[in-house]
Amino acid sequence: MSDWQVKYKSSLKDRGTEGILKLREGILLFVPNDPTSDSKLKVLTPNIKSQKYTKEGSKKPAWLNLSNKQGDSHIFEFQNYQDMHACRALITKALAKCEEEQPKKPAAVLTSAEQLSIADLELRFKVLRENIELQRLHKEFVETKVLTEDEFWATRKKLLGKDSIRKSKQQVGLKSMMVSGIKPSTDGRTNRVTFNLTSEIIFQIFAEKPAVRQAFINYVPSKMTEKDFWTKYFRAEYLYSTKNTAVAAAEAAEDEELAVFLKPDEILAQEARQKIRRVDPTLDMEADQGDDYTHLMDHGIQRDGTMDVVEPQNGQFRRSLLQDLNRHAAVVLEGRNIDVDSENTRSVAEALARVKQVSKADGETTKDANQERLARMSRLAEMEDLQAPQNFPLAPLSIKDPRDYFESQQGNVVNEPRGAGTLKRNVHEAYGSLKESILEIRTKGLRDPLIKPEVAFEVFRSLTQTISTAKNIIGKNPRESFLDRLPKSTRDEVLHHWTSIQELLKHFWSSYPITTTYLHTKVGKLKDAMSNSYSQLEAMKESVQSELRHQLSLLVRPMQQALDAAFQHYDADLQRRTAKSARGSAGEANGSV
Amino acid sequence: MATVASKLYSDDVSLLVLLLDTNPLFWSNTSTTFSQFLSHVLAFLNAVLGLNQLNQVVVIATGYCSCDYIYDSSLTLSGNSESGRTGMPALFASLLEKLEDFIVKDEELIKEQEHDERIASSLLSGSLSMALCYIQRVFRSGHLHPQPRILCLQGSPDGPEQYVAVMNSIFSAQRLMVPIDSCYIGTQNSAFLQQASYITSGVHHAPKQLDGLFQFLTTIFATDLHTRSFVQLPKPVGVDFRASCFCHKKTIDMGYVCSVCLSIFCEHHKKCSTCGSVFGQSKLDGASTVSEKKRKAPDS
């Protein structure tokens, strides 16, 4: 039955209009009894966010409060609680069904063509805003439909991806400060000792003292409340800090739970025993003997409790600072290996226990591991002079002949072939004349005059001319380049042409060889854009002043050469394709005949 | 004595390493004789030594198949060398003697060698390496040393088989911050020397008239490194940066480059000869062979 007699109230104060509430497939419909009133309501079931209802025991009437995603709430007053509960159950069922369907739809939308998320678009806008050059390129190409958005950004993934790398989370380690050992605040006046307990401290206590963790799991909440547990724990801590072993022994005898905290940690002891069993017997301990500097003068901790005299039966109620420090250090080095939210103490305890169980299972030595250890032990313990001679298989050295490298450098040298005989004769003659020259200069001395004044003057003149013309062309400052002498607009234009031609050429050359029609159209568009650039370069060359024209054409030449090479390739490829298709169709005609 | 020495060490103390081209095949084909050339050069060396008391000069002869140190001004004792021959300043008697010995040795070496048909180039890479070794030793002698530079007097054309070695020497010189000046007296253009001077920020000049060589040398190449910051020296307008390919030693503009060791080849190879890495087939070649295969089928 999905029709109920209800009163619809838009708010609590409203008196309510009577009507019928119908629940159909995905729609909740309220039709008032009075056809003239206009509080007809149609609510789509997916829109319902939550429903609240009044309790049966209270004296209030049976109300059902539905709030939808826009924030409005609709209150329906039912005739009795039974109806209200039935309606509520049906709505819950419908809601559950909706939730199932919902996730499927968004997935279908995304698996079609690459949908950009809002975040991606924002990132792209940000990058474009920051880099004006990139913005200009983007405007020139993407908005004139020469390149699509995806192609433009395909090569610039590095720019877009930088942020995502930063978001990757870093694992947080444990503090090396012993928060579990912080001294409490003591109030002498009221004789109270106050311990502070945060979730961090709880985590540390559970990690360092597995016996306490085990006790927590066992006792709370069956035997005592959490507060009592911690009170007992801190009582034990206080007793430790007073170092009064007699009192500790007495209290332990009385209170069984307290005794758990005061005893040495059995679980830890077991773990330690296992670790000792697994130590490699071939470990060389000799190095460690020299490391023991604590017994030298001026070293070590003065009062670490080892020298204090203790009665044997109360020995178990002591704990030394070294033990605490070592345990804390071991825990910190293991790291934080659970991710449980630390609000619920019990869940933390259970998670830690589970982790410990898993690691224990892994650590148990299997039969193979044992065999391996035995083999290793026998290998290390062997005596060298009693061994048989071992003939290991030798791999032959492969040393490459260094002459290969040098000879390959002098490989096939292209040269005019000369007759061997003539070469030798020439060489001898040459050497002979050289030796004569040296003899001549030895006997005659340096030339006198060394240099004629006219010649020297000529040299000076030509040098001055060279240097001054070079200065005009290149500029006074050797660091200054030709670009600085151009007017600013031309310079910007030249630089922009450079980057845009680079971009076009990059996309052009990456589209070859053409395999799909998409690439074909892309290449066509790129070619048009490139011819456009070419004509713009020509125009720019004309427009500039005559004295700068030569330099500018030199500057622009590599760009034009690159474009020419691209055009050539395009034409050659086009020719090849038409030839191929012509031949192909001709071949088919032949074949069919 | 140390303080006196450091006081005398002004900014313009220089060590000039001169690489002299003694390639007989070149010298037998030029209008200027070797003796005229030598007189210009020796006078220039004298001038350099006269500019500063602490200047040093080292001469390395670049032969056809060997190179050798000819002269070191810091080692030569003054005075007692045999000045029996007239007309020659005693300072350079030993230089000429050693030069003659070197040429004789070079001749011996070429007799032993199989005459491979290579361009008549001199061993520039060898002499550059020797110069750099000498300079490195000077650097390590202490922190009071003259500022070294290399002057390359070359007339022979470039030997493309020396491309790799010459480039390596140029980059070492750049690292050491030693400028390589070059004076090219031959007929063709030398790409190696242009690149050397450009990369190491030295001066390159190719004088057209060789009877004024002394004037060129003293005007341009005698300036020490400190003075160059305020003296205008001729700059080349363009530099020929073409490389030569590693397989045939031709100078090329466009070629294939190995992405592992950056060696340059003029044609497609299966494997790089320098580092041994295997090249994959290029996309363009692959497409054309496939389409060729397709074309053949309907015809047959």
Please name each of the domains of chain B with its CATH number.
8-230 (3.40.50.410), 243-295 (no CATH)
- How close A541 gets to chain B, by Cα (Å)? 21
Closest C-alpha to A21, from A36, A8, A11: A8
Lowest mean pLDDT among A24-33, A77-86, B34-43, B50-59: A24-33
- How close A428 gets to chain B, by Cα (Å)? 8
The whole-number pLDDT of residue A377 equals 78
Say if the Cβ atoms of B106 and A424 lie within 8 Å: no
- Residue B29 DSSP code: T
Identify the residue with better confidence: A144 or B62: B62
The whole-number pLDDT of residue A109 equals 42
Residues from chain A contacting residue B274 (CB–CB below 8 Å): 405, 408
**A466–chain B Cβ distance below 8 A for any pair:** yes
Rounded to 10 deg, the angle between the A345-363 and A199-208 helix axes is 30
pLDDT tens-digit map of A469-526:
877 766 555 445 666 777 788 888 888 888 888 888 888 888 877 778 888 888 888 8
Please name the residues between 504 and 523 in chain A that touch chain B, using a CB distance below 8 Å: 512-513
- HSE toward the beta carbon, residue B10, CA cutoff 13 A: 9
How far apart CA A377 and CA A6 sit, in angstroms, is: 86
The whole-number pLDDT of residue A308 equals 61
Average pLDDT on A43-48 reads: 67
Identify the residue with better confidence: A391 or B140: B140
Query: Radius of gyration of chain A from Cα atoms?
Result: 46
The whole-number pLDDT of residue A106 equals 44
pLDDT along chain B (300 residues), means of 10: 60 90 87 87 92 91 91 70 56 85 88 68 92 93 86 88 89 94 88 90 88 91 89 79 77 83 84 80 51 42
Nearest CA in chain B to A454: B212
pLDDT band at A335 (very low <50, low <70, confident <90, very high): confident
Q: Is the pTM of this model over 0.80?
A: no
The whole-number pLDDT of residue A370 equals 75
pLDDT tens-digit map of A252-302:
777 777 777 777 777 778 888 888 877 777 776 666 666 666 666 666 666
Dihedral, CA atoms, B99, B105, B107, B113, nearest 10 degrees?
A: -140
Identify the residue with better confidence: B135 or A386: B135
Say if the Cβ atoms of A424 and B115 lie within 8 Å: yes
Q: Determine what percent of chain A is predicted with pLDDT higher than 70.
A: 69
The whole-number pLDDT of residue B286 equals 44
The whole-number pLDDT of residue B152 equals 95
Identify the residue with better confidence: A250 or B180: B180
- How close A409 gets to chain B, by Cα (Å)? 6
How far apart CA A9 and CA B174 sit, in angstroms, is: 90
Q: Which tokens is A244 given?
A: 């009064």
Say if the Cβ atoms of B234 and A435 lie within 8 Å: no
Whether pLDDT at A97 is above 60: yes
State the count of interchain CB pairs (< 8 A) between A and B: 170
Helix, strand, coil percentages (3-state) for chain A, rounded to 5, are 60, 10, 30
Contacts 24+ apart (CB under 8 A), A577-580: A580/B291, A580/B295
The whole-number pLDDT of residue A418 equals 45
What's the distance, CA A412 to chain centroid?
Answer: 52
Say if the Cβ atoms of A409 and B283 lie within 8 Å: no
Considering only CB atoms, B250 lies closest to which of A414, A439, A452, namely: A414
Burial A365-386 (b: 16+ CB within 10 A, else e): eeeeeeeeeeeeeeeeeeeeee
What's the distance, CA A296 to chain centroid?
Answer: 49
Average pLDDT on A9-32 reads: 72
Considering only CB atoms, A415 lies closest to which of B104, B117, B299, namely: B117
Nearest CA in chain B to A463: B234
Say if the Cβ atoms of B283 and A512 lie within 8 Å: yes
Beta strands A48-53 and A41-44 are unpaired
The whole-number pLDDT of residue B136 equals 94
How far apart CA A449 and CA A438 sit, in angstroms, is: 19
The whole-number pLDDT of residue A180 equals 65
